[in-house]
Amino acid sequence: MSIKRFIFCALDFSDIDETIQFLNIIKNEVGGIKLGLEFFSKNGLNGIKRLKKFNLPIFLDLKLHDIPNTVKKTLLNIIDLEPNFLTIHLSGGKKMIEEVTAIKNQTKIIGVSMLTSLDKNDLCALGINISENEYVHRLVNLGLQSGIDGVVCSPNEVKELKVKYSNTDLFFVTPGIRLENDKIDDQKRLLSPGLAIKYGSSMLVIGRPITKSPDPVKSINNIKKDILRYFESKN
């Protein structure tokens, strides 16, 4: 089994040439790439077309969140590019989610529950007086009822969600992945790559520990070793 299939590198660059240059370094080491708003706002659909030439799965992380008709029309502009994955905010509501899942074609729709940069204090500031886990569970239930293929959740939530939804085909995407000596940056809910896979993650989205590394390939190999330790412990 190829360990690299779990690893999607978040290419959070604005410059297309810088993105391509970096991708040439890691293209054989990862299972796919994640493109977010930083890349998309500068390079748009043409930028995605250029990166599709690498023949790597593309996770388009736009976190769409607007009135249902606007999100639907946005997706219609994107869907011909056939991104493998596309994110939407589950807090956009049932109608918005259903508008997306009805026209997704082969693209897997991944629902964003609670950003890994948020915690209980942030929820309270928004007037949401429930625990992080309860908030995430409510959004995941809403998404599942509305036809999503997977969810983005922090490493802290994936274990419980994997157990709770074990009778479904729900796909779990986990950001907030750091090795023991990595810089935390602005993430608040973190876990190591191996433990995230052990707890049920289907995909690890990893950005700065790779893109800011002086040796990106070495960093990816360290991530693979951490994942491999979990698989070896199972046998």
68-127 pLDDT, tens digit per residue, is 999 999 999 999 899 999 999 999 999 999 999 999 999 999 999 888 788 889 999 999
Cα gap 87→110, rounded to integer Å:
5
The answer to whether the predicted template modeling score (pTM) of the entire model surpasses 0.85 is: yes
Catalytic residue at 63?
yes
**pLDDT class for 20, splitting at 50, 70, 90?**
very high
Supply φ then ψ for residue 121, to 5 degrees: -60, -35
The pLDDT of residue 189 is 43
- In terms of pLDDT, which residue wins out, 54 or 189? 54
Domain ranges of the chain: 3-234
- In terms of pLDDT, which residue wins out, 123 or 179? 123
155-170 pLDDT per residue, tens: 778 889 999 999 999 9
Q: Is the pLDDT of residue 231 over 80?
A: no
Task: Give the active site residue among 63, 104, 120, 162.
Answer: 63
The CATH fold assigned to 3-234 is TIM Barrel (3.20.20)
Under DSSP, the state recorded for 177 is B
Average pLDDT, the chain: 90
Tally of residues, the chain: 235
Cα gap 39→17, rounded to integer Å:
11
